[in-house]
Amino acid sequence: MMKLFMFIVFVIGLVGPSQAQDFKFGLKGGVNFATLNGDAVFDSFDGRTGYHIGAVAQLGLGSFAIQPEIVYSAQGIEDTDIDYLNIPILAKLKFAKILSLEAGPQFGLTANGSSDLDDLDSFDISAALGASVEFSKFFVQLRYNFGLTDAIKNVDAKNAVFQVSAGYYFF
């Protein structure tokens, strides 16, 4: 999995600058407040506080940008940890040079699951909505990811994750 991560970072690094008017690349990390929505049985479980860490690219064209990411994310609920390798691809609208709103799809591959459930779905699709603030090379993001597919096969259980991130653009 680490080889896949490094390969994607390498490709973004090579392709991005040659095709973008404004290109940024950096790393981010933060905290997740996750739960599973759907089946009423999940209401009796507490959410999971986890983490996320990954790489961010931003391909800008004036006040609009595309922001692909690759992020390892600890999600799920208490007693049902489900970690993902998520790939959000966000459209970003920038306001007042430092504030932006972002939205788009997120594709996730189950990286690790520690639960009694043998039927974790290996692929997750979510929608992401958020906002970010940039100060020079530093940025802070708030994002909500809501699942569109079930995290557990044959169970109404969709991911719901609120994320708080901080990061740094290297270039």
In a domain, 79, yes or no: yes
Q: Contact at 8 Å (CB) between 139 and 167? A: yes
Asked if residue 4 is part of any domain, the answer here is: no
Domain limits for position 51: 23-127+141-169
Q: Residue 18 has what pLDDT?
A: 46
Does the pLDDT value for residue 20 go beyond 50?
no
What band does 116 get if pLDDT is binned at 50, 70 and 90? low
> Considering the entire predicted model, what is its pTM?
0.83
For residue 119, what pLDDT band results from cuts at 50, 70 and 90?
A: confident
Instruction: Report how many domains make up the chain.
Output: 1
Mean pLDDT of the chain: 87
Which amino acid does the sequence have at 79? Answer: D
Is 6 among the domain residues? Answer: no
What's the whole-number mean pLDDT along residues 70-91?
Answer: 93
Residue 9 lies in a domain: no
Domain-embedded: residue 146? yes
The CATH number given to whatever domain includes residue 86 is: 2.40.160
pLDDT for 10: 61
